[in-house]
Each structure stands twice: as C-alpha cells, then as structure tokens.
Chains A and B, each alone.
Chain A
Amino acid sequence: MLDGKAARPFAELSGVSKYFSGARALEGVDFSCREGSIHAILGENGAGKSTLIKIMAGVVQADTGTLTVEGTPHRFSRPSEAAKAGIVCVFQELSLLPDLSVADNISISDPPRRFGLIDRRAQRERAEALLARIHCEDVDPRALIRDLSLSRRQMVEIAKALGKNPKLLILDEATSALTSRDVETVYNVLAELKAEGTGMLFISHRMHEVEALCDTLSVFRNGRHIETFDKGARTQDEIVKLMIGRDIVHKFPPKPPALSRKPHLAVTDLKWENRLNGVSLSVGKGEIVGLGGLDGQGQKELLLALFGVLRGVEGKVTVGGEGGIPSSPADAKGGRSRIALVPEDRKTEGLMLPMSIADNLLVASFDKVSQGPFIDPAKSRQAVADAIAQLQIKLNKPDDPVASLSGGNQQKVVIAKWLLTKPEVMLLNDPTRGIDVGTKQELYRLMRELADKDTAILFYSTDYAELIGCCDRVAVMYDGRIVTEFSGDAITEEALVAAALNITRPADAPAREAVPA
C-alpha cells in the first residue's frame, strides 16, 4: 500500500545516540519516516520513544548522529526551529496554560497581530477554523482551558499543533486521555491529514489503535531501534514479543469462579450536584468491580465522593455495614472504613515528584511507622523494603527522587503507598493510563492478588479490554447513574459499548447527550 511513495523519506535519523547523565536513552538509532503516512512507534516505557521524538521536535539535542529533514541536515536547538522545518509535536504532558482561553492557547507562540498588538478577533477566528478542522466545533474559543475536560484539552492541544502547519505531526500518547467519542474524531482527523500528505508519528500503548490507524510500525527496546515493518507483516503476539523481548503467556490472570458475595462497600442513591444522580452499587470482599461507560459519566466523581473529596454529597455509603460518607481523604483512609484511592493523574495527585521514593511510599502511613511522636527509622525502612519487594519496583536507591522512576514504576509507588495502609476498599481511577505492557500485566496480577486477600476493589478504566479481562462484575455508568451491571461471561465488548451508549434501555435515557464539562 506504500508503493508509489518510495520517494526519499521526509525525516531521517542516522546513528543517533543520547545519554542522560551516563544512562543510555538512545543508542545508534537509524530511523526514517515519510509524508502522507502514519507511522507507529512501539515500545515499553523507557524504550527510548520519548527521547526519539524529543530529538526530532527540538526539545533535546542528540549527543551523536545526524537528523536530516527533506534532505537538509538539521540540529534543532529549540522546538520553534523544528516547527519551522515542519515537525510539530503534541506532547503527552499537556502543554496548555489553564488560565488562558482556548484561542489564546492555540496561537500562543505566534498570535495574529494588528499594529503590534494581538488581534483578538483574528485569533478567535483562527481558533474556530482549527477547531472545525478537528471537528470540535462545540469548543468555545473563549472558554478557559481549566474549564475543559481532559479529553477536550487534548483536542485543543491537537488543534494548536495543526496551527503550525506541520509536515510531520508527532502524537505522543495523544489519545490516552481522550474519551471514546473524541478518539473517533481523532481517527478521522488523522485520516484526513494523511490524505493531505502530512506525515505522522504515532505513539500509543493501545494496540488496537495502532492496528486501526498506522501504515508502518517501528519497535524500540532499551534505546535501540529493533525493527520496522508494514502493518500486517507481523501478528500482535509477535509485536508484543519484539517490544518486551520475551513471550507473554497470559494477558490477564484467571478469574475465580463467580460466587455471591456479601456487600462490603455498599452505596445507595448517591447524589452530588448534577454529576451523580443516584448511584447505587455494592462491592463484596474479594471482588473486583469495574466501572464502565463513556468518559465523564460520573465515574471519577463517584470515586472522589467515596474517598471524601467532594463536598455536599448526599446518599448512603457503608463499609462493612458501618459508617457514612467520609468527610475527607484522611477520614476515608483511617478509622473503620480504610478506603484507598489511586488517583487519575499520578504526577500531580499521586506523587510528590521531587521527594524520595521512600517518603512517597510512607506518606499515607507515617502514623503506622511511628513510635510516640517520632518516626521509627527501623520500622519505616522495613515498610519501604516490603513495599518495594511486593510490587517489584525497579529502583536504584529508595532515597532517590520518585521523579527518577519510569511511569510504570511511579504508578507502582502510588499503589504501594496505599497498600501500606492495609486498605479494605481500593478505588482505582484508570491506573494503567500511559503505562507499558509489562507493568500493566503486573498490575492486573496484583489486583487479583489483593482481591484474593479480601480487598474490595472498584476499578474505573477507559480500556474495555481491561474491564473484560480483570473484573468479576462491571457496572456501566451513564449520566451520573449506573444503567447496567454485567457479570461473568456477560461482560463482552459489545455489551459494554451498547450499555455505555445507553442503547439497551432507551426509555431511561435522558434527552440530552451528556457531554463532559
């Protein structure tokens, strides 16, 4: 399918190496990509994908090797130089300024000017045009970024990148924060861009996206370029094997036989503002219950309400038959309820990045390792060692800053922190987002182990495969309510999608379409 495009590649790297304080990030990489094609880059976290695109986008400079764009050698010292040469990157870490409007953000690097001042109207029109191009006409260019959902922000980010007229667009995990609806939109946009002759580098941990979108795939491992091949040349299993360098036997741990369990966490008619409209749900000891549905149907709010973060929640919550709605996370974690929450964004809500791994592990349970008013060094060392061993966190020294770990290991720290509090109820908010395949599987196994030790687990995921593979039961939410529950073999992708769109029970469906705020 790539015949006729055998012209010289748009961008070409040869012999590129990059070291960060002695540690190899990339070594001897030869890589090329062309216009009018979608090229996937696959690899575990730490495989060198991010470094590769940072070099191409001018964020960091290669130590050795050359970068050629359209036949001319380049050495970008900043992203704006790369943009001038036609390479623009949509970064995984959102780069929008929350207190500025959508229009301001889209034109931030080069606003349209009139008499030297920013021409607000031209800027707004430009934003409207770009948003229309990615089929996001419903985003108001005057809205502040902070008022948009994560998914919409990501769309704005893409619009911003398109505003620089890229010849090569790099998308780094650009779909990981998107709702299913926006993912569909992005697919269409990418197809259109491809037809217009734009080249794209696409980094994603979601295999089915790569399968659906990309023409060419390149696999990286440990800072080296392993192989590049056309779509369809290799099976999924072969690709995964190339990525991790070993075979994968089971993707998900086996589920225990379904049994009827006494509810441990029981939620009755939970309401909060207009986001939760009477949620009733129960999770038994040793059970993994999934939360499904489209993004923004109240799943996150439900988890936050159960953890005591939201004010003004009405309804009834009991854990082991006792207690009420927690008044704060400290209340939820302590006392009898012993609830833990693994939050959505590990970098801002889960971790204190500059602090040490040990301190991050202990931050929720200093009371447990204290003797009187003082922290007992022996006890805390032991707790840290146990946590690291239990989750097999790969680290150098526990005193290193947690920021030095890879994404997957950072997420393990967040989970280990809560395991140290010995929780009876675990609330997980999309814990595998942006994590490599190997670590994902470790987390699935861990969830099952915890359930086998009688922990009640409520697990929200945007990935249907995870819900199907991990959960004993799945409750699908729509417009702040649970519309359907599935258990056992009834948990299928078709059933989940149908329930998420609320097409099984049209009589209950509210008239308006629930758009994330």
Chain B
Amino acid sequence: MANDLTLPRLKSDDLPIVISAGFVLVILALGSVYTVATLGTMPLLSPNYLLTQLQTGAFLGIVAAGMMMVILLGHIDLSVPWTMTAAAMMATTVGGPAAIPTGLAIGLLVGLFNGFGVAYLRIPSMIFTLGVDSVMRGLMIAHTGGFAPQDSATPLMRYLAADKILGIPVAIFVWAAVSIVIAAILSRTAFGKAIYATGNREAASYLSGIRTRWVIVGAFVISGLCAALAGLLLAGYSAKAYQGMGNAYLLPAIAAVVIGGTHILGGRGRFIGTVVGVILIVLLNSVLSIMQMPEAGRQIIYGLVIIIMLLVYGRTAKVTS
C-alpha cells in the first residue's frame, strides 16, 4: 500500500480510490489471518465467498451510483429508503410483466418531484428529500393499511436478484450494467460534465450557458431510478416487498460515495471510487461478522473507519494541492 501512495503522477482525485482499494486488501488479509488462526482455512479468498459479497453489494452499489450523481452536485437524496420501498411495494402490488416498469416509474416520479423542489423551488435538498421520504412512508402505510396487497415478487424480479448465470449472480450483472451507464454519463457526456461543473460552482456554470436546473432535476431522476431498481432487486432477493426494506441502505450509500473520494460538497469524485467504496463497506461488515465481533464493536469500528479514511483524504488533499 505504501508503494501505491508514492506512485508518481497520481491525481489527487485518484488518491482516495487507491487508499480505499488498499484498505479492501487489508480487510481481506486481516480476515484471512483470523480464519487461518481459528479454522485453518481461508474462506474469504474463495470465489464463492467473494461472489456472494458482490451480490450483496449490488443492491448497495446501485443505490450509491444514483446517490453519487446527487452528491456530485453538492446535494443529497434522503428519500432513497422509501423510494426503494415504494417502488418494490407498488411493483409487487401490480405484479406480472408490468411490475418492473411500475417500480421504475415510481422512482422516476420521485426523482422529478425531488428535482423540482430543489432546482425550481430552491428548497435545500436535505430538507426537501427528507420530507418526501416521510410522505412516501405515509403513503405506503396507507397503502397496506386497509387491505393486504399482494407482496410477492414476480419471477423476473427473483431472477434478476437471486438467480445465477454460469455460477455468477445475475444481480452482479445488473450492478455492472448500471455502473457502466453511470460511468459513461459522468465521463463521456455533456450532461456528466455539466454535473461536475454545476457541483463546483453553480453561478459560473449558469453563466456558461448550462441549464443548471435541468441538470439538478436529471441527477435526482437518476437517483430515484437507481433507488427504485435497487428496491425491485431487494424485493426479488427476499421474494417479497415489506415496510422499511430500504432503511438500511441510506447511510451506507452515502458513506460508500464519500469513502470512494467524492467530495461531499460536490464537484469532485470518480465513479470507480464509489464502486470501491461499496465493496469496502460490504466486506468490512461481512469480515467483522465472521470474526464474531459483537454488534457494539462492529458499529464502532465501522464508524471509525469512515472517519479515519476521510481524515486521511483531507491530509493528502492538502499535501497535493
């Protein structure tokens, strides 16, 4: 790892990615030392274990991909948990071939609404999306209140989330496809460049003729769509949709984006960093539970890792700039 840090011609945006990738290796190494000592084997390095982790990571990875678009603008999308839940619940209620389009439509609508509130009504995203999250929760409770709607996932949802192609979980392919699309948008399209520009300095972007409001709406729509897709997959994985299914995804998604080197105030960050951030968080959780760390210790270590990594990034940024 020390070698990685001293590599010449490394851009400051890449440093967090190198550091977190190094940390992933450290986690695997420490975990393996532990398992060798206790079990005499190294299950952490088996393809099977790693593929399972990637499958778990797929849901988080898709949420984080959408979240990154919004964070790059210096905004945040706190409506993710109940966007996931609502998309999944509405999809299972409708059922049949219309299930997935329905779920995605929910994500699209929530994204449009969030974008409208932030870009046109100029309400801070942290407040607006929190409100939207709460409204969605209310709507979903109302939805299940009077009667019990159908809540089992369709076969296609199950296939996408839980099946395998050539021994590789399909969810990983879905995550990869989403990643390729988002990475291409960010690095190769005018919209992607506009996101970085707007996140850096909205006034200068506006005065350069960028339609900054559309850019903000676009980013929230992508975040809504990604959350909805993750909700659909999660429902497929658990075979059904249920209240609060998205709650565990909000903070890890934000953490993954930030650990991956995206600046929380917007404007900087590479997509590959978010992928590495997701892998780091998933592996950290998994290895800590394999090491039979009690819940209290796990939470403390998890939080400390995030804080320490950001401290390290802050230091390195100062040195390089």
- Which bracket fits the contact residues of A? 20 to 34
Tell me if A350 and B204 are in contact (CB < 8 A).
Answer: yes
Query: Using an 8 Å CB-CB cutoff, how does the interface string of B184-213 with A read, 1 for contact, 0 for none?
Result: 100011100110110011011111111100
A353 touching B201 in the complex, CB below 8 Å, given contacts A309-B207, A343-B207, A363-B208: yes
Pick the residue among B190, B205, B209 that contacts A352 (CB under 8 A).
B205
Contacts of B236 in A (CB 8 A): none
> Count of A-B contacts with CB under 8 A?
75
Contacts of A370 in B (CB 8 A): 189-190
Tell me if A329 and B188 are in contact (CB < 8 A).
Answer: no
Tell me if A348 and B201 are in contact (CB < 8 A).
Answer: yes
Of the listed stretches A124-132, A142-150, A176-184, A330-338, name the one at the interface; the rest are far from the partner chain.
Answer: A330-338
B268 within 8 A of A: yes
Contacts of A352 in B (CB 8 A): 196-197, 200-201, 204-205, 267
Contacts of A354 in B (CB 8 A): 200, 267-268
A362 within 8 A of B: yes
State A307–B210 Cα separation when bound (angstroms): 13
With both chains docked as a complex, state the minimum distance between the C-beta of B53 and any C-beta of chain A, in angstroms. Answer: 33
Interface size on B, residues (CB 8 A): 22
Tell me if B200 and A366 are in contact (CB < 8 A).
Answer: no
Tell me if B204 and A349 are in contact (CB < 8 A).
Answer: yes
Q: Which residue of B lies closest to A417 (CB)?
A: B208
A355 within 8 A of B: yes
State A270–B108 Cα separation when bound (angstroms): 42
With both chains docked as a complex, state the minimum distance between the C-beta of A43 and any C-beta of chain B, in angstroms. Answer: 25
Query: Using an 8 Å CB-CB cutoff, how does the interface string of A345-376 with B read, 1 for contact, 0 for none?
Result: 00011111111000100111011001001110
Tell me if B193 and A363 are in contact (CB < 8 A).
Answer: yes
Tell me if A366 and B204 are in contact (CB < 8 A).
Answer: no
With both chains docked as a complex, state the minimum distance between the C-beta of A418 and any C-beta of chain B, in angstroms. Answer: 9
With both chains docked as a complex, state the minimum distance between the C-beta of B233 and any C-beta of chain A, in angstroms. Answer: 26
Contacts of A367 in B (CB 8 A): 190
Tell me if A329 and B209 are in contact (CB < 8 A).
Answer: yes
Contacts of B205 in A (CB 8 A): 352, 363
Q: Which residue of A lies closest to B193 (CB)?
A: A366
Contacts of B196 in A (CB 8 A): 352, 355, 359
Tell me if B210 and A330 are in contact (CB < 8 A).
Answer: yes
Tell me if B267 and A333 are in contact (CB < 8 A).
Answer: no
A328 within 8 A of B: yes
With both chains docked as a complex, state the minimum distance between the C-beta of A189 and any C-beta of chain B, in angstroms. Answer: 32
With both chains docked as a complex, state the minimum distance between the C-beta of B15 and any C-beta of chain A, in angstroms. Answer: 14
Contacts of B207 in A (CB 8 A): 307, 309, 329, 341, 343, 349-350
**Chain B 260-308 interface residues, beta-carbon cutoff 8 Å to A:** 267-268
State A373–B194 Cα separation when bound (angstroms): 13
Tell me if A374 and B188 are in contact (CB < 8 A).
Answer: yes
Q: Which residue of A lies closest to B184 (CB)?
A: A374
With both chains docked as a complex, state the minimum distance between the C-beta of B267 and any C-beta of chain A, in angstroms. Answer: 6
Contacts of B206 in A (CB 8 A): 309, 328-329
Tell me if B193 and A348 are in contact (CB < 8 A).
Answer: no
State A350–B204 Cα separation when bound (angstroms): 5
State A175–B121 Cα separation when bound (angstroms): 39
Q: Which residue of B lies closest to A404 (CB)?
A: B321
State A333–B193 Cα separation when bound (angstroms): 18
State A364–B207 Cα separation when bound (angstroms): 9
State A349–B194 Cα separation when bound (angstroms): 15
A363 touching B201 in the complex, CB below 8 Å, given contacts A330-B211, A375-B190: no
With both chains docked as a complex, state the minimum distance between the C-beta of A295 and any C-beta of chain B, in angstroms. Answer: 20
Query: A residues touching B (Cβ–Cβ < 8 Å)?
Result: 307, 309, 328-330, 332-334, 341, 343, 348-355, 359, 362-364, 366-367, 370, 373-375, 399, 417, 421
**18 A-B contact pairs sorted by A residue (CB < 8 Å):** A330-B210, A349-B204, A349-B207, A351-B201, A351-B204, A352-B197, A352-B204, A352-B205, A353-B200, A353-B201, A354-B200, A354-B267, A355-B196, A359-B196, A362-B193, A366-B194, A370-B189, A399-B11
Closest 5 CB pairs of A and B: A366-B190, A333-B209, A352-B200, A364-B208, A330-B209
Beyond known contacts A364-B210, A421-B209: 6 more, CB 8 A cutoff: A328-B206, A330-B211, A352-B205, A367-B190, A374-B189, A375-B189
